[in-house]
Amino acid sequence: MSALERLRAAAPVMRDDLAGLVAVESPSADLEALARCADVVAELGRRCTGLAPERVVVADRPQLRWRFGGGPVRVVLIGHFDTVWPVGTLARWPFAVDGDRCTGPGVVDMKGGLVVLFHALTALAEAGDLDGVAVVCNSDEEIGSPASQALIEDTAAGAAGALILEGSAEGRLKIARKGIAHYSLHVTGRASHAGVAPHLGVNAGIELAHQVLRIAQLGAPPGTTVTPTDSTVGTTSNTVPAAARLSIDVRAFDPAELARVDEALRGLRPVLPDAQVRVEFGPSRPAMPESASASTFALAQRVAAALGLPPLTGEAVGGGSDGNLTAGIGVPTLDGLGVIGGNAHAEGEWADLASMPERAALVAGLVAAIGREP
């Protein structure tokens, strides 16, 4: 029986493993929930590979790492177990299966990818091909991986390839991703009574409105997007607001564009007399250019053909992942190798259960080939 046939026979187990992961809610901001989910992921990995993970706690966040064999890392597989869904979501939207389609919070982003990852490792273990493989499962990908970035980069440094188990829309692999930069704009005004002496105040909300209009003009879509997002202004309804804050999301394929927008944001000046503005740089990820994935994508196409799987296609996307980090340190990176599905981050998120064995076989074949094919 081939590895693909064995994985297809294990499809019911993979479905149950996914149900078990989804049952443990794990929003990025809830450290206790993340710790509970880390225990479940660790046990899944131990069961599939025979090895318990190294637990790395950074800023009270649990991260998991496996390293197989005593030599250098040849290929690293990366997944995350945090989700965007708050605790309590399962009460109204439980994991459910209808034929080959399942729904539930986090099934495609990316607990389905974790199931694919560990069952691929089972196939590699059965073939005696785990030496030189490393795995990182982190708990903060959805918020930019600030606590796990160093662990990911340290583990992947010098590897011949990095495989990212993010979900896949219609089977397409991610061959390029935009770089991402997050900023916070802080506006300082002066409070006063809105009824008695509004003229004595400096309205931080009005200053923020001026700045939002300026910021929104910095994009050059579709390649470069600059999006004002969440904001807060003032304290009470009868007080001229003395402070305001705005989050800014910047994305571009071209590093020069990221630098252009960075310079423009840092050069913002107030419009209202006596107002002050300050820009703070937040979490960021470098762009993952198509050149970072080209060789591994070509290899994946050959592996898929050898397995008798449908031809692979690729796409460049605006969303970021930990693949941006591995590509940023020069490691050949291929993304979107997880479960096929859709509607990530939205009600109705779904995954195709039938795709999990095929993706696990593809990942196992890629891991076996990376660093060993010319």
Which residues participate in catalysis according to the annotation? 82, 141
Which has the closest alpha carbon to 114: 85, 84, 135, 145? 135
Going 102 to 108 to 110 to 116, the CA torsion angle's sign is positive
Q: What SS3 state is found at 68?
A: coil
Which has the closest alpha carbon to 229: 243, 219, 216? 216
279 Cβ contact partners less than 8 Å away, ≥ 6 residues apart:
183, 184, 185, 186, 265, 266, 268
Q: Edge-to-edge strands of the sheet including 341-342?
A: 96-98, 101-103, 350-352, 341-342
CA–CA separation, 26 and 146 (whole Å): 17
Which has the closest alpha carbon to 62: 154, 163, 136? 136
- Strands 161-164, 75-80: pairing is parallel
Residue 374 CA: distances (Å) to CA of 160, 307, 337, 369: 12, 19, 22, 10
Amino acid letter, 140: D
Question: If you write DSSP's letter for every residue of 343-362 in order, what string do you get?
Answer: -TTSTT-EEETTHHHHHHHH
Q: Which residue has the tokens 């443990």?
A: 24
Question: How open is the CA angle 84-87-89, to the nearest 5 degrees?
Answer: 80
CA–CA separation, 212 and 248 (whole Å): 9
